[in-house]
Amino acid sequence: MSRELEVIRKILVTVEELGQIKDLDTLLEKILFEARMLTHADAGSIYLVEDDKLKFTYVQNDTLFKSSSVSKYFYSDKKMDINEKSIAGYVASTGKTLMIDDAYNLPANLPFGFDKSFDKSANYKTVSIMTTPLKTSMGKIIGVLQIINALDFDKKPVTFTESHKLYVEYFASNAAVAIERALLTRELILRMLKMSQLRDPKETGAHVNRVGAYSAELYGAWAKHKGLNNDEILEKKDLIRLASMLHDVGKVAISDLILKKPAKLTQDEFEIMKYHTIYGARLFQDPRSEMDRISGEIALSHHEKWDGTGYPGKLENLYTTDITDINLGNGYKGEEIPILGRICAIADVYDALISRRVYKDAWDEDEVLNHIKEQGGSHFDPELIDRFFEIYDVIKAIRGKFRD
């Protein structure tokens, strides 16, 4: 098989794989990685259109960090205007692919310039750049795909070729369709969560986005430490991010008098509140997909504690009995608690403590971290606490990206 046919076959297989990914962030990681593989590029980034600006949404760089590893740069909140003054803005404005052989020596008559700030902060040197629009079948530009520093098979710098351009443009047009679909999926989930937000003022869109992102990255760090296959990790992260966003969806069934109380709950009120875990799990009692199964598992188990003092505990007839007849059981303990429940527990508590609520001020960051560390072995899985601190720069970046 010729090189050209092999590349086309690879693109077609990858496009089919993109259609199976539901979560936007996992999808962007796959798209950028595969675009780089098509051109043997060292680095790259994706910008998505948001509020009439280009938002720096995803980045990979093999020199600075492995493409499969977590990077705090992923959660950058950088935005730029859509105009011809920047390379990405020019491509988004014109809808045309741009290839640059030497970013530091651009002709003076070009309308755009190269922003060296990332290179300076990261001690990196950008040379060749190919930037192409992410354009849907309807001609709508939803973002920009940028790949940086083409390399030959000996990993020496080369320029991007016309063949590279053809491959990437074809791939990008299909990737844009997958991105648009993933954006719709996330929007549908966020709209569903707005029902909870209407009932519970603590359940903000920023909170659920943070908990989802914390959980996905914490799972990734744990799974990598366990030696799980990278493809398996990415597939699971795809579901975990979305499912963790639904961790408190059962609160829609709790009384407003409890949800909206601007003070600490009484013991009786807290006992009622515990049932939100059961209501949440019962929403997914007939799972049609792995996403449903994981969502139910997290909703039910994210308040269990490592030492067995959590809730709702071991229940009988969770789905077949009237919920008013369900008595809370003895808590699950240690590894009896599903790993995703243990992960979401850390994500949820961390965000609750470090964020302001109607009934409390935000805790000081050092106070929060000391509490999280102290709760290892009692509230939290101690191994997961180690992973949490390993990626704490990423956790902070997530918090910065999804502000209240």
What positions carry a catalytic annotation?
Answer: 251
Give how far Cα 167 sits from Cα of 103, 139, 357, Å. Answer: 22, 19, 50
Residue 22 structure tokens: 């539901």
What is the C-alpha separation between 195 and 236, in angstroms, rounded?
26
What is the C-alpha separation between 201 and 356, in angstroms, rounded?
12
Of 141, 136, 24, 125, whose CA–CA distance to 88 is shortest? 141
Any bridge partners for residue 184, and if so which? none
**Cα 114 to the chain's mean position, in Å?**
28
In one-letter notation, the amino acid at residue 215 is S
129-135 β-sheet, strand order: 79-81, 53-61, 41-50, 141-150, 129-135, 98-100
Give how far Cα 341 sits from Cα of 37, 72, 135, 321, 370, Å. Answer: 35, 24, 38, 23, 21
Q: What is the largest CA-CA distance in the chain?
A: 76
Specify whether the CB–CB gap between 365 and 40 falls below 8 A: no
What is the C-alpha separation between 277 and 37, in angstroms, rounded?
43
Buried b (16+ CB within 10 A) or exposed e, 46-56: bbbbeeeebbb
Residues near 380 by beta carbon (within 8 Å), at least 6 away in sequence: 305, 306, 342, 345, 346, 349, 372
Any bridge partners for residue 99, and if so which? 130
What is the C-alpha separation between 280 and 252, in angstroms, rounded?
9
In one-letter notation, the amino acid at residue 213 is A
